[in-house]
């Protein structure tokens, strides 16, 4: 039988120790949320045939934003991680999946190699988990003092994804329901399943605190030393109307802008700049104006698509700078909102985004107020 391997991404936790009031898996990390990076690793892996996320139902809006455009479905989690995994496994019971890889949604930097190694181990093993032998000395500590040294022979720390034969791990979880076991390998052990160890990776860290998030940012920066820049330019003509869309913000104006989509020249220039930095064509190639599905489209979709291409390449966005060129509308009132909107779409901190405006001293088509123009420069970092 050809293996059919599902990925179950566990993201139902409410932990917000990483700061920002948001559960950690929905925090931004270099151009995508933590969860989106984890999901993308599995969705884009050729060995995985379907990806299901287990989320807290209250997080549905966050999840939709984090999974937009990805081939992922979700199911509601329970009160504990173990309960959430059980619910996720039950949702896969009749899916045709033969195996499942269970992964923490808060481990965004999982490598293709770890996923492939776990899958490969499942050819012969009932279960497999990535692990690292412990190099530091281990101490038993009580009241702030070392009581004794713990022999570390045979001691490993394990990560996710942990892979299993689906029906075996589902039965094991059903049998373990209500117990408090720390991970799925422990559930498998309790059921007598054999779990093989494959090589883990220190970069495959689990984000729990703000320090972990900062560490993941540094790891991403270290991995991405290939700095590239792209530029974009766009023009739209004014037409009858009472508002324009610029940099994702609705701006009241004496005219509208003519275009197939929402005619947001700012986001179009920015999308082209990002595609330019990636060397991946232009906005017209990705979203042909002849295609009726993009009529009236929200241009944030175009920019999000380009940002996803960056995430799939393992890259991060370093900076985006947009210049709007027009006599009217006046941009200064809206600049803060535009910066925030672009930062939200790109999943970066607002200090990585700049929006500014200029006129052409009443010269040319922008000076005659026939239309407006936008230009953008984007700097990205890709893996070497
Ligand atoms: Mg355009």
Interatomic CA distance for residues 74 and 125, integer angstroms: 28
The answer to whether residues 72 and 105 touch, using CB atoms and an 8 Å cutoff, is no
Nearest of 126, 193, 113 to residue 159 by alpha carbon: 113
Residue identified by tokens 């181990």 is 121
Interatomic CA distance for residues 223 and 208, integer angstroms: 21
Interatomic CA distance for residues 42 and 48, integer angstroms: 6
pTM of the model as a whole: 0.84
Q: How far away, in angstroms, is 375 Cα from ligand 1 center? A: 11
For ion ligand 1, residues whose CB falls within 5 Å:
234, 268
Annotate 175-200 with DSSP letters as a single string.
Answer: HHTTS--SSHHHHHHHTT--EEEEE-
Interatomic CA distance for residues 120 and 198, integer angstroms: 10
Tokens of 169: 């791990």
Q: How far away, in angstroms, is 250 Cα from ligand 1 center? A: 16
Give, for all 384 residues of the chain, the pLDDT tens digit: 678 999 999 999 987 666 667 899 999 898 899 999 999 999 999 999 999 999 999 999 999 999 988 999 999 999 999 999 999 999 999 999 999 999 999 999 999 999 999 999 999 999 999 999 998 999 999 999 999 999 999 999 999 999 999 999 999 999 999 999 999 999 999 999 999 999 999 999 999 999 999 999 999 988 899 999 999 999 999 999 999 999 999 999 999 999 989 999 999 999 999 999 999 999 999 999 888 888 889 999 999 999 999 988 889 999 999 999 999 999 999 999 999 999 999 988 899 999 999 999 999 999 999 999 999 999 999 988
What pairs with residue 354 in β-bridges? 321
Q: How far away, in angstroms, is 274 Cα from ligand 1 center? A: 14
> Element (H or E) spanning 16, and its range?
none
Residue identified by tokens 């985004």 is 353
What is the three-state SS of 246-282?
ECCEEEECCEEECCCCCCCHHHHHHHHHHHHHHCCCC
Contacts of residue 34, defined as CB under 8 A and 6 or more positions apart, other chains included, come to 24, 25, 26, 27, 28, 105, 106, 108, 207, 213, 216
Q: How far away, in angstroms, is 152 Cα from ligand 1 center? A: 61
Over residues 63-77, the pLDDT tens digits come to 999 998 899 999 999
């Amino acid at each position: 039988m050809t293996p059919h391997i599902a990925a179950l991404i566990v993201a139902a936790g409410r932990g917000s120790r990483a700061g920002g009031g948001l559960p950690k898996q929905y925090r931004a990390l270099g151009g995508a949320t933590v969860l989106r990076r984890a999901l993308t690793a599995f969705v884009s892996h050729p060995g995985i045939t379907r990806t299901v996320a287990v989320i807290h139902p209250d997080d549905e809006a966050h999840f939709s934003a984090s999974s937009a455009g990805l081939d992922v479905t979700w199911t509601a989690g329970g009160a504990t991680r173990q309960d959430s995994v059980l619910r996720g496994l039950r949702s896969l019971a009749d899916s045709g999946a033969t195996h499942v890889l269970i992964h923490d949604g808060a481990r965004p930097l999982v490598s293709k190699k770890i996923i492939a190694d776990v899958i490969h181990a499942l050819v012969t093993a009932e279960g497999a988990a990535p692990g690292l032998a412990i190099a530091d000395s281990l101490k038993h500590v009580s009241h702030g003092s070392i009581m004794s040294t713990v022999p570390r022979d045979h001691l490993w720390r394990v990560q996710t994804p942990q892979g299993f034969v689906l029906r075996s791990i589902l039965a094991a979880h059903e049998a373990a329901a209500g117990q408090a076991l720390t991970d799925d390998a422990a559930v498998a052990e309790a059921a007598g399943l054999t779990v093989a160890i494959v090589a883990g990776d220190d970069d495959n860290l689990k984000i729990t605190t703000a320090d972990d998030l900062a560490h993941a940012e540094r790891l991403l920066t270290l991995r991405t030393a290939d700095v590239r820049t792209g530029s974009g330019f766009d023009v739209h003509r004014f037409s009858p109307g009472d508002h324009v869309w610029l940099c994702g913000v609705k701006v009241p104006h004496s005219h509208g802008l003519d275009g197939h989509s929402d005619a947001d020249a700012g986001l179009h220039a920015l999308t082209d700049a990002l595609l330019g930095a990636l060397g991946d064509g232009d906005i017209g190639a990705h979203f042909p104006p002849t295609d009726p599905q993009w009529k009236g489209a929200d241009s944030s979709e175009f920019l999000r698509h380009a940002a996803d291409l960056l995430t799939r390449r393992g890259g991060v966005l370093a900076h985006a700078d947009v210049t709007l060129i027009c006599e009217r509308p006046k941009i200064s009132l809206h600049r803060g909102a535009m910066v925030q909107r672009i930062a939200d779409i790109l999943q970066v901190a607002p200090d990585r985004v700049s929006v500014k405006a200029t006129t052409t001293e009443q010269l040319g088509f922008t000076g005659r107020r026939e239309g407006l123009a936008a230009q953008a420069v984007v700097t990205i970092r890709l893996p070497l």
